Amino acid sequence: MPMDVVSLWWLTLAIALVIVLVVAALLIAIAVAANRIDRHAAAIWAAGKDIATNTVQIWQLQKTNATAGQILSVAQSIAAGAASIDGRLARLPEALESVGSAQPRGDG
C-alpha cells in the first residue's frame, strides 16, 4: 500500500497535532502545579510570619524576667532597710526613757 505525498502530508499533520496537544496538556499540568505550589508557599509564608510574631513575645518575656529579677533585688534591699528602721523604732521608747532619766531635772 504505497502512500502518496498528500496522504503522507496528512499523516505528518496528524502526528504534529497529537504532539502539540500532548505538549499543551503537559504545559497546562505544569501551570496548575505551579499555582498549587504558589498557594502552599503563601500559606507557609503566613504561618512563618505568625510564628515570628509569637517568638517576639517569648523574647520580650525573657526581658521582662530579667527586669523582674532586678526589681526583686531592689525590693529586698528596701525590705532590709525597712526592717532596720522597724528595729530602731522599737528601741526608741527605751532610748528616750534612758535619756530622760539620765538628765537632771530643773525643779524649782
pTM of the model: 0.49
When pLDDT is averaged across residues 5-22 and rounded to a whole number, the result is 95
Integer CA distances (angstroms), 89 to 14, 77, 82, 97, in order: 111, 18, 10, 13
Q: Which of 54, 57, 34, 35 is nearest to 46 (CA)?
A: 54
Q: Read off the pLDDT band of 57 (50, 70, 90).
A: confident
Instruction: Output the pLDDT for position 33.
Output: 98
When pLDDT is averaged across residues 17-30 and rounded to a whole number, the result is 98
Domain residue limits, the chain: 1-39, 50-100
